[in-house]
Amino acid sequence: METEQERSTLRASRGAAGAGTDAEARVPGLMRLFGGGKAMAVALRLKEGALELGRGTAALGEVQDAKMSRRHAQVRFDGQRFWVTDLGSQNGTFVDGVAIPKGTAHEARRVVRMGDSLFVPSMDLRPLELHGVEVVEQFVRGPAMQGLLKEVSQASLGHSLYIQGESGTGKEGVARAFHALSPRRSGPFIAVNCAAIPESLAERLLFGARKGAYSGADVDAQGYLQSADGGTLFLDEVVELDLAVQAKLLRVLENREVLALGASKAQRIDLHVCCASNKDLRAQVASGRLREDLYFRIGRPDVTLPPLRQRPEEIPLLLERGLSPGRSLHVSLVEECLRRPWPGNVRELMSELGVAEHASHLRGASRVEGCHLKPDAGAAFGPALSLPPEAPRAPPRKAPSKAKPLPADERTRIEHALRQNGGNVTATAEALGMHRTQLRRLLARHDISVPDSDEHA
């Protein structure tokens, strides 16, 4: 499916470190994702919980940064959070775009800039160390995507796959991989967006129609199912299909024959089906939007594509590859992109990059900079998901003896974010720019209930 030229990999600087996922074996550290004007994926472990960084630090990897001071900053992990202290650097240290005062520890949240380098804290560096970030046939694959594609590879030997993920996360790309990895790869791949099919046309478009089946049917017309014969049918937003059409689809998948509208004889077909949606299919069955029997036919095995905000290591490479030839990225653009939640995921990132590139061109800039990005690009639709440029926080000097009441607007912000993220605490914490443990503590302390979700982490 791929050639050597089509594959390039940003290897993490450390070697493989074992593949367990147990919490004790986790290796916290920093990911250096940008330096020397280029995307990179360098894993920096914190020795005994801390690491001093500066020009010449071996852990930075091959590409050094002339704008970093020799002793630039120290990063420390306290078991739950990362803290960064500027050691008196010349050019300063920035957390989420805001300069931190020298000499005191500040929480390192989404992205830390020193010189022209960008670092993102990671609770576990092992996946990056093991897999790096690669590009295969224009598709950027970080460690999470590579792990997911292994599952897809196994699934491609079977009859179906269900892909769950937010809009724009790359579900169609994964469906194409399901097809390309399967024994049916030489057959057709037919992608259908079920949400875009008018209800009245769904049967005709899916199952086809014989000449004379309805007024205006002058010729036999193939449906998507016949077109996908011998290959893979990708049904995006499958729960948008009407229940009667779902019943007919199930019959086709079970009997392996399709009866076109107006036809008297069914036609044998052999196809595999890959479905996708941004919804939890079991919940759709529970609410009566999806037939239970169809769920058992198309809902397993399933994979979940994490949103882009949970895969920051892919962002610099996506930006680099999305630029027009001859253009280059300024560190400020990558920093801005790493800070924002991107509810529209990769699709939104790539489209806003195009807008920013155009703006930089109009202003005669040689590089695309953070200021060329529209202020609302990648921002949440509601106030809850936005990542305000608030000043980085210093660690509390001592633990408060009693919890202070939570301001009403803060409670509303958290509850709204929980709803937006379907009760997923990890995603909500990311969206609010805080650590998961921190959010869990807030929820417990202030008795905020979490809507039902699948998260068991």
Ligand X SMILES: Nc1ncnc2c1ncn2[C@@H]1O[C@H](COP(=O)(O)OP(=O)(O)OP(=O)(O)O)[C@@H](O)[C@H]1O
Which spans of this chain sit near ligand X (rule: CB under 6 A)?
Answer: 138-140, 165, 167-173, 236, 318, 346-347, 350
Identify which of residues 67 and 347 has a Cβ nearer to ligand X in the complex.
347
What minimum distance in Å lies between the beta carbon of 149 and ligand X?
10
3-state secondary structure of 414: helix
Sign of CA dihedral 335, 146, 427, 125: negative
Judged by beta carbon, residue 269 or residue 305, the one nearer ligand X is: 305
Least distance (Å) between residue 5 CB and ligand X: 17
User: Which tokens belong to 83?
Assistant: 């803290």
Q: At a CB cut-off of 8 Å and minimum separation 6, what does 196 contact?
A: none
**47 Cβ neighbours under 8 A, 6+ residues apart:** none
Of the pair 119, 139, the CB lying nearest ligand X is at 139
- Looking from the CA of 275 toward its CB, the CA atoms found within 13 Å total 28
Q: In the sheet that 93-95 helps form, which strands lie side by side, from edge to edge?
A: 38-45, 29-35, 117-122, 112-114, 93-95, 98-99
What number of residues does the chain have? 457
| Closest to ligand X by CB, 52 or 172 | 172
Peptide bond into 301 cis (omega under 30): yes
Report in angstroms how near the CB of residue 171 gets to ligand X at its nearest: 3
Please say which residue, 192 or 414, places its beta carbon nearer to ligand X.
Answer: 192
The least CB distance from residue 137 to ligand X, in Å, is 9
- Please identify, using beta-carbon distances, which residue of 100 and 233 lies nearer to ligand X: 233
Closest to ligand X by CB, 27 vs 228, is: 228
- C-beta separation of 210 from 267 below 8 A: no
CA dihedral 325, 329, 335, 337 (to 10 degrees): -20
The phi, psi pair for 168, rounded to 5°, reads 80, 10
Say how far apart CA 89 and CA 71 lie, in whole Å: 7
CB of 24 to ligand X, least distance (A): 31
What is the closest distance, in whole angstroms, from the C-beta atom of residue 351 to ligand X in the complex?
9
Q: Least separation, in Å, of the C-beta of 385 and ligand X?
A: 18
Q: Return the number of the residue (236 or 240) whose C-beta is nearest ligand X.
A: 236
Shortest Cβ 216–ligand X spacing (Å)? 30
What is the spatial order of strands in the sheet that 50-53 belongs to? 50-53, 73-77, 82-86, 105-107
